[in-house]
């Protein structure tokens, strides 16, 4: 199921709802391997949760920057998808603010602006300690391009 949203040019696009994003998430081999869980989605925002796994650590025992990037990029893409459907990134940047350690991680993505040709999104990655106290560990920004329906084909088929 999808939701209809008018973009900044006034045309109607099909955004993905929570159920659709969960299906998209489970269809991605990397997301399954990383065990990303789409906890909430809608209205240009998304929340993704990932539990700590030792195999995702780097040499100092922190979450690997590649996994940080994956969480931030996915949160940005899924936030945009709630408004415009399938997207692909054309630019991504992240800032690691502190070592990413914790029992689990929450990536919160939000759409800044959804245009017909480009969508701008940002995300924050929070780490929960043993007392579930959350700390901001990284931020990211992505420029995305709408690519059509769930299959990624421009004609939506």
DSSP bridge partners of 139: 95, 124
Structure tokens at 77: 């893409």
Residue 41: enclosing H or E segment and its boundaries?
Answer: strand 37-42
Measure the CA–CA gap between 109 and 117, rounded to whole angstroms: 19
| 60-80: pLDDT as tens digits | 999 999 999 999 999 999 999
| 68-121: pLDDT as tens digits | 999 999 999 999 999 999 999 999 999 999 999 999 999 999 999 999 999 999
Residue 113 C-beta-side C-alpha neighbours within 13 Å: 8
């Amino acid at each position: 199921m999808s939701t209809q949203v008018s973009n900044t040019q006034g045309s109607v696009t099909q955004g993905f709802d929570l159920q659709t994003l969960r299906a998209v998430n489970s269809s991605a081999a990397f997301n399954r391997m990383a065990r990303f869980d789409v906890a909430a989605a809608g209205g240009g925002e998304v929340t993704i949760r990932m539990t700590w796994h030792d195999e995702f650590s780097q040499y100092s025992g922190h979450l690997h920057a590649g996994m940080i990037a994956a969480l931030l990029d996915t949160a940005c893409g899924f936030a945009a998808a709630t408004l415009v459907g399938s997207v692909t990134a054309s630019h991504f940047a992240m800032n690691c603010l502190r070592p990413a350690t914790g029992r689990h991680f929450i990536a919160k993505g939000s759409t800044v602006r959804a245009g017909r040709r480009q969508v701008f999104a940002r995300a924050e990655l929070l780490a929960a300690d043993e007392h579930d106290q959350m700390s901001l560990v990284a931020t990211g920004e992505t420029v995305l391009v709408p690519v059509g329906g769930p299959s990624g084909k421009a004609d939506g088929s």
